[in-house]
Structure 1
């Protein structure tokens, strides 16, 4: 593997004039200006935007790009170097922040970027990396505009679905993300901030990035979580998918097509309310762990699948992946093992780099499981057909616990339909032919097969096994596009007609009223379409089948793409009361990071559940550990959830004695029970609504219209 680029015969010092701006600058500047305007319109302070851009640019992307170029020789375009460099910069930042925060010196996170930039400025041999590799390729103008349009669409989706809404009515998991940022801002190793002493068996490295950014820039964590942090990750991911598609497809059109399939092609939906999901990439802010892990994973695949490889860069990225998202290392290991197995059969020997990469991945996977997650599984278990069992419950109206005893028959049938729906999105991979035996393509197919297999084999109380499928989506999309290019024997006008025919057939099938039982009503429309595709396949029209399958997926894809940027009518339900953030920040500013808070707020204000314990905003706004707030995502809760027999939202708190001691202080306070809370659990503050009874036993320090903060005597 190459550790550095070949020496250049012509070296310019930093700042020397180079080539003029390429065609990509205009769309990049246009989208950048639009994004800044949108964020300002949504209330992000200009000072925060400037500080964030400066830190991510100079403190993460710049040193990451320089190191990426030095270790791998750089990519073919500036955009590739910046995107991969940003990923590597994030990895270095997180791995630097963890020991810095553990030592009590979080600003030491700046030491690596400062050292890198100074080194690359002071060492003449490294000056060439400021310009990148000679003979750099420029993406055509149409490609730059197409990718800019995708990024612009994603920004518009973020504005409509998150940015324009107040923090009080955002997605239910956002306070959880905020609480973890506050925890890791002050404590490493972290624990679950909403349950004092509970081990955090969760992928938390993205929150280390946000905590480091907050320390360096002074930006409030709520602004990073709800507005800024995932934006550069999302943009870089679009670029890396395009680069990988171009690298394996041999042309920029393949890169743009790979991005289009990755972000905008979804499974057909032939019956309202029944979705055989192919998982979209629209989790950028709802799941920052997935977004962060996907970005770190992409340059790993890029290096292994055709880029210039570096063991050092690979090791840093894999080590950062251990705590970024639990889904990616297993996917990579599966892909590498497929390469080793198939190439071993085909060539009767395997190049050492593939088993070496698999071994390094396995080591990092073991570190993740036994060090980062502490052997915790967060409720994930082997449960074949769990995804389809959940779907069948909603279709047939079967609820828990009866859902656990549904026979295997309908689940197998629904799984077959699900696989057909996935073929409508990624069926082009079947046309790869002999290209499927090439190591890079085997890696794509292995990652994809592992993602699909995990969605079928594993189960989770909140269907988190589907993140495996989402993680594999870009690589299945690249394989599908490459398959279409490898098999193209049909004129494009005919392909377009077949896509149109498929779309029409899907619309007709979805309009049919199928008589019979529920299973038949769901399965029959898909069976009709599958039969038409199979007839063409048996006649040898491979590309025609792919076009037809894509057409089946087209109507639902158009509806979904439009729906994501269509504002919903009416206001979202407010889940966080007015004044809660003000009270939480007052407590944060008047307490120490080691102080413990008690609260009687455990359940979200909804009617659908007796106690939906996904309540995390007290820990989020105060940045303090809470004795007991919400416990839905605790390992002690998810590990006790019997799959399909009860919802994890209905599982009671694991330590009822602690919960009782906590709540009695707020319901029937006495000097004795308040003293017990302080002495046994170290509680110093009480956070609640209006509760005059507490004033006899604790000092009222803050009160507004919704919240009160008391300090124990």
Structure 2
């Protein structure tokens, strides 16, 4: 091997350890065995079997590194399908069968894989640099977003305890119920929590550490690596890998106002607050990437594709579609919009029906129907047709607190709508630079249609908790791939202008935001509002246009072609989206906590005491129903007890349920009454006016075995200690175990 060749190999090998090193650095706040245990599980159960599945069923991509990444994500999809069956059969370690299944398939189904090409060292090194950035960000920001211990751990919002409670539910039960309202069917997407539950059983890592630290970090890295892998599949060029990875981490959307850069609606990259607190969104993004890759292999019809490989591709696509349907409600509609456009495009071009896209479409329709009618039970959870409701809600949030006599009129709504929509669609400008390698390549059409369809859905639909914005969060990766594809289509010498052009956009949006010197709440008339909303946008546009002209004219006339101008313009526009994301990440380093302890002092220890002393089917009753223990109104978003106790609760909070969500406003969903007044009455009497009859009814009719009382809600009556055994006390929390009922009392417990 020549000296330059050896140097390149050494450089490539030297960059690979960034992943395991970054993994341990990112989780340095925990004992080393935590990172080691999950990494071992990840490699043995997901990476190796998944890669074997992927290469055997799809024929491979031609790059082993790409197959390893996409195979890992496919292994994740297989794992979350296997775990529920194992949980139902009371075999929670069922995922350990994955290596044997992969080996059996590999031996029983000999197949032809594409010849493997080496991945250039600089491509690997570039992706590893981005992975290092993710690890550094996680240490600095991500690991601080949701505290796991200390006083701050008692002050989470409703989302993180909700995610933890679902992970606990899937750890011990299938089919799942709402863990904080026992007996209520769970009409929510639970696939991501199968992975957490499976990892918990096999590694022994605590559920809160997995849910709030280990798994989000793994999903961030997988999204980064997956974007790099799919970028190479779409473009056929190794340069797409570091570009796609970098855009997945640093790109965002247009945030022209200083007050928007910290809002989760404006940050849809993997390093966003939205990804960290939404396990389902992060999981669906990870699985969308291999689905895009396998769709490309199906619709592009590469030469030499056998029927066996075609069957394998459809099997892989079917598994991914099935898992995605129960992962996030917004995922498949975005994919379906892109697929429909690709089908129309291919059908028109070939003048005959494209059966491959049609089969995929039928699979998507069947999977989504199953999700809607079986998993969601036909519940819309408050989603309604309300054009521009998204932007009106955003505007209302921005102007909250100003003088009521200062109206935010239609012109303000148009400004906000234009800025948000343009920002969401901005990555699509990358398509202007794409040079297709294949005639009639449908993937550009598919990605564009998916992105546009997602923005249309977010514009026409509305849900009081802004769930419709997750359509755009799903499509964010579509925009990243379009932009990466365009930038990867450049010739080597054309990359000289990319950096300066990106810097133009970054500088323009920074300087534009600097024009906002007046606070919204200080405005005394509509004209003031219009000025502070329009001035940053106008300044950013003027500065960007001027920068494009100056940079273009500075290039030698002989090299100043139309494509050069297009490259400068596209990169400058993409630069406008990078800057807000970077600023937002810095702001997220210290996220606000609630001003009160939403988890009772001593409550986590009390819940874990119940976990140690009880069986998985034991039921808890509590006097905690509100996120805040006291106050004039009860926000029914308390979900922490089943998360830490890993046991169902008769009635804790009741937000985030289908019955609570089928309303029109957030206030109705969060502050509405409980629908079963008799059950709630019996539950609360145990803590306010306990009698032997009440406790016997709780135990026999409802199956309650434990009482968890918070003195902040109401002091425990003295009679309770006479009727039930006090087993644990910490902080403001007491845990009682119910005595067996008297003979002849009650009826059959609920399941």
Q: Distance in 2 between matches of 1:287 and 1:148?
A: 25
Aligned match for 1:698, one of 721, 724, 736: 724
Aligned position for 1:279: 268
Shift of 1:202: 0.6
Q: Distance in 2 between matches of 1:533 and 1:162?
A: 32
Shift of 1:331: 1.2
Aligned position for 1:619: 642
Aligned match for 1:197, one of 144, 162, 183: 183
1:675 aligns with 2:666: no
Aligned position for 1:330: 333
Deviating more after overlay: 407-416 vs 380-389: 407-416
Aligned position for 1:476: 479
1:79 aligns with 2:65: yes
Q: Distance in 2 between matches of 1:512 and 1:285?
A: 31
Q: Is the 8 A contact 1:600 1:666 kept in 2?
A: yes
Aligned position for 2:126: 146
Pairing 1:166-565 to 2, within 5 Å after superposition: 166-167=148-149, 169=152, 171-172=156-157, 173-274=159-260, 277=266, 279-281=268-270, 282=272, 283-306=274-297, 310-397=313-400, 410-432=412-434, 438-484=441-487, 492-494=495-497, 496-512=499-515, 516-527=527-538, 529-530=540-541, 541-563=565-587
Q: Distance in 2 between matches of 1:33 and 1:562?
A: 23
Shift of 1:339: 0.7
Q: Distance in 2 between matches of 1:239 and 1:650?
A: 42
Shift of 1:198: 1.5
Shift of 1:125: 7.3
Q: Distance in 1 between matches of 2:616 and 2:449?
A: 45
Shift of 1:369: 1.0
Deviations 1:14-40 (CA, angstroms, capped at 9, x unpaired): xxxxxx98754432323312422442x
Task: Report the secondary structure of 1:702's partner residue.
Answer: strand
1:658 aligns with 2:679: yes
Task: Report the secondary structure of 2:167's partner residue.
Answer: helix
Q: Distance in 2 between matches of 1:75 and 1:608?
A: 59
Deviating more after overlay: 522-531 vs 146-155: 522-531
Deviations 1:218-239 (CA, angstroms, capped at 9, x unpaired): 3322232122223333322212
Shift of 1:242: 0.9
Structure 1 residues 529, 91: closer, same or farther in 2, change over 3 A?
same
Deviating more after overlay: 257-266 vs 599-608: 599-608
Deviating more after overlay: 168-177 vs 325-334: 168-177
Aligned position for 2:654: 631
1:163 aligns with 2:118: no
Structure 1 residues 490, 86: closer, same or farther in 2, change over 3 A?
closer
Task: Report the secondary structure of 1:280's partner residue.
Answer: coil
Structure 1 residues 555, 101: closer, same or farther in 2, change over 3 A?
closer
Q: Distance in 2 between matches of 1:48 and 1:555?
A: 35
TM-score by length of structure 1 reads: 0.86
Q: Is the 8 A contact 1:278 1:422 kept in 2?
A: no
Task: Report the secondary structure of 2:708's partner residue.
Answer: strand
Shift of 1:84: 1.6
Shift of 1:692: 5.2
Q: Is the 8 A contact 1:24 1:139 kept in 2?
A: no
Structure 1 residues 277, 50: closer, same or farther in 2, change over 3 A?
closer
Aligned position for 1:31: 19
Aligned match for 1:711, one of 731, 737, 750: 737
Aligned position for 2:5: none
Structure 1 residues 218, 505: closer, same or farther in 2, change over 3 A?
closer
Q: Unpaired segments of 5 or more residues in structure 1?
A: 1-19
Aligned match for 2:97, one of 107, 111, 121: 111
Structure 1 residues 38, 590: closer, same or farther in 2, change over 3 A?
same
Q: Is the 8 A contact 1:452 1:468 kept in 2?
A: yes
1:643 aligns with 2:665: yes
RMSD of aligned residue pairs (Cα, Å): 3.5
Q: Is the 8 A contact 1:160 1:567 kept in 2?
A: no
Aligned position for 1:6: none
Structure 1 residues 454, 81: closer, same or farther in 2, change over 3 A?
same
Q: Is the 8 A contact 1:429 1:476 kept in 2?
A: no
Q: Is the 8 A contact 1:502 1:548 kept in 2?
A: yes
Task: Report the secondary structure of 2:327's partner residue.
Answer: coil
Task: Report the secondary structure of 2:266's partner residue.
Answer: coil
Q: Is the 8 A contact 1:84 1:236 kept in 2?
A: no
Q: Is the 8 A contact 1:395 1:518 kept in 2?
A: no
Task: Report the secondary structure of 1:229's partner residue.
Answer: helix
Q: Distance in 1 between matches of 2:538 and 2:328?
A: 36
Deviating more after overlay: 153-162 vs 62-71: 153-162
Shift of 1:56: 1.9
Structure 1 residues 605, 518: closer, same or farther in 2, change over 3 A?
same
Q: Distance in 2 between matches of 1:652 and 1:225?
A: 30
Aligned match for 2:29, one of 33, 39, 42: 42
Q: Distance in 1 between matches of 2:709 and 2:607?
A: 11
Number of equivalenced pairs? 680
Q: Distance in 2 between matches of 1:24 and 1:98?
A: 40
Deviating more after overlay: 104-113 vs 373-382: 104-113
Task: Report the secondary structure of 1:325's partner residue.
Answer: coil
Deviations 1:642-691 (CA, angstroms, capped at 9, x unpaired): 137x3632333333443333223212323333333334322221012353
Q: Is the 8 A contact 1:600 1:687 kept in 2?
A: yes
Shift of 1:269: 2.8
Structure 1 residues 288, 661: closer, same or farther in 2, change over 3 A?
same
Task: Report the secondary structure of 2:636's partner residue.
Answer: coil
Shift of 1:496: 4.5
Q: Unpaired segments of 5 or more residues in structure 2?
A: 1-7, 303-309, 519-525, 550-560, 740-751
Aligned match for 2:116, one of 110, 123, 136: 136
Q: Is the 8 A contact 1:305 1:443 kept in 2?
A: no
